Amino acid sequence: MTATPDSDALEGPPAGVHSLWRLRHYLRPHRGALAVMLGTALAGVGVAIAIPLVTKALIDGPITERDLGPVLPLGLIALALGVLEAVLVFWRRWVQSSAVLAMETEMRRDLYAHLQVLPMGFHSQWQSGQLLSRATTDLSAIRRFAGFGLLFLVINILQVTLVTGVLLHMYWPLGLVVAAAAAPIVWLSTRFEKAYVVVSRRVQDEQGDLATLAEEGAVGIRVIKSFGRSEHVSRQYERAAQQLHETSMDKVRLSAKFWTFLEVIPNLAVVVVLLLGAIGVGTGRLTPGELVAFITLMLSLVWPVASLGFILAMAQEAMTAAARILEIFDTEPDIVSGAQVIERPRGHLRFEHVDFAFPDAPDEPVLRDVNLDLQPGETVALVGATGSGKTILTALVPRLYDVTGGRITIDGVDVRDLELGHLRTLVATAFEEPTLFSMSARENLTLGRADASDADIDEALDIAQAGFARDLPWGLETRIGEQGMALSGGQRQRLALARAVLAQPTVLVLDDTLSALDVHTEKLVEEALRRVLGSTTGLVVAHRASTVLLADKVALIEGGTITHVGGHSELLATVPAYRELLAAEADHEAAHEGARS
Amino acid sequence: MTDTGWRGVAEVDAIEAAERDAAAAIRFTGGSGQLLRELLRPYKRALKLLVLIVLVENIARLSIPYLVKEGIDTGIPPIIADDNLRPLFVIVGIVLVATLTQALARQLFLVRSGHIGQDMLFEVRRRVFRHFQVLSPAFHDSYTSGRVISRQTSDVDAIYEMLETGFDGLVTAALTLVGTAGLLLFLDVKLGLVALLCGPFLFWITNWFRKESGKSYRVTREKVALVIVHFVESMGGIRAVQAFRREPRNQEILDDVNEQYRAANLVAFRLVAWFMPGIRLIGNVTIAVVLLYGGYRAYHGEVTVGVLAAFLLYLRQFFEPMMEISQFYNTFQSASAALDKLAGVLREEPSVPEPEQPTHLDHARGELRFDGVRFSYVDGRPVLPGLDLTVPAGQTLALVGTTGAGKTTLAKLATRFYDPDGGRILLDGLDLRDLTSDNLREAVVMVTQENYLFSGTISDNIRFGRPDASQEDVERATRALGAHDFIMALPEGYDTHVANRGGRLSAGQRQLVAFARAFLADPAVLILDEATSSLDIPSERLVQQALRTVLAGRTALIIAHRLSTVEIADRVIVMEHGRIIEDGAPADLVAGGEGRFSDLHEAWLDSLA
């Protein structure tokens, strides 16, 4: 894994034409549309140049020559050209909208698909917000450039060249003035855009910081209130808002200066053109019609020239966006599916000399030489102190992470040789921190088995003591999760358990799934689970003796490796470290004695 | 597939629908209008100045085509007649002055208005953030953090958008339209009237676009929200997604919402595809008609070439702002909706208000008394029907009972997350409602399962409740809890950043940090609500040992379903349906052998096996 999140957005990945070019295949299906867009835009430039020339002919013909004849035909030509221009614009935009939107949608689809394939190792390094901004902001930047920027980059350069040519041809001294005016505009625009991009990024970053503070203020509100720290966080927020205010003002000042210059330069050119042009007309070197056409044409150049700056910025933005998206596309999933399928799985799970280290800390192994054998139908409790590596060990079985040494086998087949979907059908996990999605309770439950019948769901709910789900306001159709009904920690855990049970796995992994339940409920769940685990191979992370009793044997994990395997009472009697972890305290036992006597 | 059954049904749908309705309003009605007026009040004079600047700028800008006309009509003939360049020089000089005036005014306007806008934004942000901080947890429970965040991000951004682009655009556009129309009529009435014939068409198409784009804009916002929610949730919960092979179904859902978003966008884009060329068409036809009619009139000598040129230049300007005007409508509409929502939030009164005349409590002893306390979350379903309880200063009290017995409610009342519907809660004899929240929080601190960590270092997080604590103090707290070792084992020890809501710290480790935070804050009353549930037994044991020392001389309410925590209590009360059904020293209750606590204790001992 080489990709890491860009913590510093100012730096960013190296952007280049290259990145954009690599995404060109998304445009390929829309080649026809692109051709139409280019064609209509070019024709549009022609029309835009033609209209002032008609004006000139009209002024110099009928008006100066006192000849009424050509007025009507010329007027009609102007009318036809005007209509033609509108039609061309319509055609271009119509074609463009479906093409670029289809492209954007396709890219988002692929990005999402790729992200779903990328393993936990990748996701643990990227915040979902960073991924989201790639799927929204960055894709829009590319869409804008593909539909608009790219086209007008070509068109505008062409238009500027052509018009300047026409102007030089008409009356070269004035043409030179126009060409001279264009130079500072282009120079200024590019310079401005560079500075603007920098300050915009800074504004964006600071807005992001502010949003983070707003988020913390909202999500952490109970902690903030508990400690009476509202004033502190408010001040922190205000400091950040003040900073944003200042940076935003820099941005305002910069763009104020730029837009002003942008208007001043063409107007100054008008001043010069008017002066020289009027003299030209006075001395007969220029017709009045030519002067009017000249000024009209020249003003028609203001936008194409000025927009070069922001089109270039748009290109820059699109290139950065493309690079950011490629960062994700270029990350190869390092967990790839095998090909094997176990026809009749029995559930013989074996850890053989398993090592694991996180990719960003390869020198600090989390697991070392773990060996464990779970016979079909057997349940093993994993017991160990906080941070001893229990959770990561369970995550290795469904290949949320891959081992960095040794291997894990199911029925003798290395899990890496198994077809990934198949493996994850064999193994189901109930996580300690249950993830519920903002969907109906039913959808959340049937995550691992979409075709589960109502009877199956009922059974799973009963096992997990999660019958409350049926009593939600809209029953199982009630939306839960972030954007729905709020559930307590215990309720969430029971739903997650029901979800895992419903998947009817060959290997069931319970990662301390019962920690938030009260004693009474826990007891009921355990009784029901005992039935399920009777026929299923189980790996149960346990913090409590009661949970350990679900298991046939116990594996004690210390410092990333399994040090003892045996029965609960056996380990309790012979291993002090185990006693330390699981035995109730001495005075608990005294209380026990006291209560019994 | 367009089936959205997977989303399920939720109450928020109703809230969202109401917000959509609010978004449909077109003016700054009621709340938003008042908020806007309030925000603008300090800038009354500055705004007047701005209007003046804008007028000057626009007059200067609009005068330029007219001056071009003058240049052609009155500057050229003297040159032809007797090589007299003076009239031309005068006119060119005036154009130069107009150009520079316009530039100066524009610069001034942009900077001044930008400043006012930024000041207003800052004020909005400040107010909204502070107000959210003041609002009670009860409000936050129902409003959800997602909505709190979007109020402060997307809604503020909508206002920003309006201030940054919309306002300037609208003012300039309106002045251009009115000014240009006036000038056209002034230059030549007949030709002007012909040119202005395009007015009704322009009005019609702009109005049509405004309405349609308003609709499609809303739809687009809704659709993109669906994409975002689905995207964020699947990435945030990727572990469950992969473990349960959810990918194909997720992809289906994404394809669906993605397609809906595309379709909505397409509608919006196509509207523009009609509108922009539509404006262009009207503009071009008008120019052609003006050319025809103007040419005809010029032939007859009724208008000059200069007038014709000025007409062409003005007409160019005339059609340019149409796009901005119609665009502004969307900006305006979403800003208005945003202001409305923000005004709604700001109108919200905290359900636990600060006292008008606070009593100050110095060095609380920590005697806590519930005096006939009644409370219900939903009317008619009392959680506490009338509770009397006195916790003497320094006592450690354990609350035991099944889920829903009212233990957590009791804790939330003691920390004044809620106020009781009836009765009083007294700290050292003072009603909690008479204490400022800061004063109360110094005395009473609660640790819950929800161990939120803020971005920043471990050390920052522990210091959260007492920022002035020394490193020694911090370490004393963590050592007492047995958390020092794991913190030191982190890459940068106490300076390790806890990225993204706790990052790679385990639930138990986060809980220990949350404990350290509470101990360091050194309150007179400490409330632990299921605070040890995610700790393993050795950590819990450490915490309990620490509790023995930490709780000495301090009042404590401990809620736990693991009775191990109860062992350190001086007194246990067992609650059921909001009532106390047993009350006594743990040993006495167990010794009785008959009561509920005795049963629970038995069950717990069995679970230890």
* Closest Cα in chain B, distance from residue A433 (Å): 8
Exposed/middle/buried for residue B300 (C-beta within 10 Å: 0-12, 13-18, 19+): exposed
Which pLDDT value is given to residue A148? 83
DSSP code of residue A257: H
**Domain B368-608 adopts which CATH fold?**
Rossmann fold (3.40.50)
Residues within 8 A of A (CB atoms), B 398-437 only: 402-403, 415, 417, 437
Which pLDDT value is given to residue B122? 94
Give the domain ranges of chain B: 28-188+332-349, 189-302, 368-608
The residue among A37, A128, A225 with the most chain B CBs within 10 A of its CB, best to mutate, is A225
- Answer whether A544 touches B (CB < 8 Å): yes
Residue of B nearest to A47 (CA): B284
- Answer whether A363 touches B (CB < 8 Å): no
Question: Which residues in chain A are closer than 8 Å to B97, comparing Cβ atoms?
Answer: none
| Ramachandran region, residue B48 (left: φ > 0; alpha: ψ -120 to 50; beta: rest) | alpha
Asked whether residue B231 carries a pLDDT value surpassing 90, the answer given is: no
* Closest Cα in chain A, distance from residue B33 (Å): 24
∠A111-A112-A114 over CA atoms, to 5°? 65
- Give per-residue pLDDT as tens, B31-79: 778 888 888 889 989 888 988 998 898 888 888 888 888 888 888 888 7
Asked whether residue B10 carries a pLDDT value surpassing 70, the answer given is: no
Instruction: For chains A and B, count residue pairs whose Cβ atoms are closer than 8 Å.
Output: 528
Residue pair A561/A370 in contact (Cβ under 8 Å)? The answer is yes
- Give per-residue pLDDT as tens, B324-357: 676 677 677 778 878 888 888 888 888 888 888 8
B240 with A447: Cβ contact below 8 A = yes
Of the options 1.10.3710.10, 3.30.1130.10, 3.30.1320.10, 3.40.50.300, the CATH number for the domain spanning A349-432+505-596 = 3.40.50.300
Residue pair A30/A96 in contact (Cβ under 8 Å)? The answer is no
- Answer whether B153 touches A (CB < 8 Å): yes
- Say how far apart CA B577 and CA B382 lie, in whole Å: 9
Residue pair A320/A12 in contact (Cβ under 8 Å)? The answer is yes
Residue of A nearest to B517 (CA): A227
CATH class name, domain A17-329: mainly alpha
Which pLDDT value is given to residue B173? 79
CB count in 10 Å sphere of residue A584: 23
How confident is the prediction for chain B on average, in pLDDT? 82
Residue of B nearest to A97 (CA): B269
B9 with A479: Cβ contact below 8 A = yes
In this complex, which of B119, B295, B464 lies closest to A71 when CB atoms are compared? Answer: B295
User: What is the band of B323 on the pLDDT scale with cuts at 50, 70, 90?
Assistant: low
* Closest Cα in chain A, distance from residue B477 (Å): 16
B587 with A594: Cβ contact below 8 A = yes
Q: How many CA atoms lie within 13 A of B336 on its CB side?
A: 21
Q: How many CA atoms lie within 13 A of B357 on its CB side?
A: 0
The residue among A65, A83, A116 with the most chain B CBs within 10 A of its CB, best to mutate, is A116
What mean pLDDT comes out for the span B215-235? 84
Percent of chain B with pLDDT over 70: 91
Residue labelled with tokens 């949003």: A211
Residue pair B457/B498 in contact (Cβ under 8 Å)? The answer is yes
Question: Which residues in chain B are closer than 8 Å to A545, comparing Cβ atoms?
Answer: 607-609
The structure tokens listed for A180 are 């001279």
The residue among B454, B562, B590, B606 with the most chain A CBs within 10 A of its CB, best to mutate, is B454
Give the domain ranges of chain A: 17-329, 349-432+505-596
* Closest Cα in chain B, distance from residue A21 (Å): 24
Question: Which residues in chain A are closer than 8 Å to B133, comparing Cβ atoms?
Answer: 217, 221, 224, 230, 233-234
Which pLDDT value is given to residue A75? 84
List the beta bridge partners of residue B52: none
The amino acid at residue A325 is: I
B448 with A279: Cβ contact below 8 A = no
Which pLDDT value is given to residue A1? 36
Pick from B389, B396, B466, B398: nearest CA to B420: B389
Asked whether residue B23 carries a pLDDT value surpassing 70, the answer given is: no
Please give the model's pTM, rounded to 2 decimal places: 0.78
- Give per-residue pLDDT as tens, B561-575: 667 777 788 898 888
- Answer whether A546 touches B (CB < 8 Å): yes
Mean pLDDT by 10 residues, chain A (597 residues): 39 61 88 90 86 80 71 86 91 91 94 91 78 85 86 85 85 82 78 82 84 84 82 91 93 86 79 84 81 81 74 81 89 89 92 89 87 93 83 90 93 93 90 81 86 90 88 85 72 88 90 76 84 88 83 90 90 87 52 39
- Answer whether B203 touches A (CB < 8 Å): no
* Closest Cα in chain A, distance from residue B34 (Å): 23
Question: Which residues in chain B are closer than 8 Å to A278, comparing Cβ atoms?
Answer: 71-72, 75-76, 79, 88
* Closest Cα in chain A, distance from residue B538 (Å): 5
CATH of domain B28-188+332-349: 1.20.1560.10
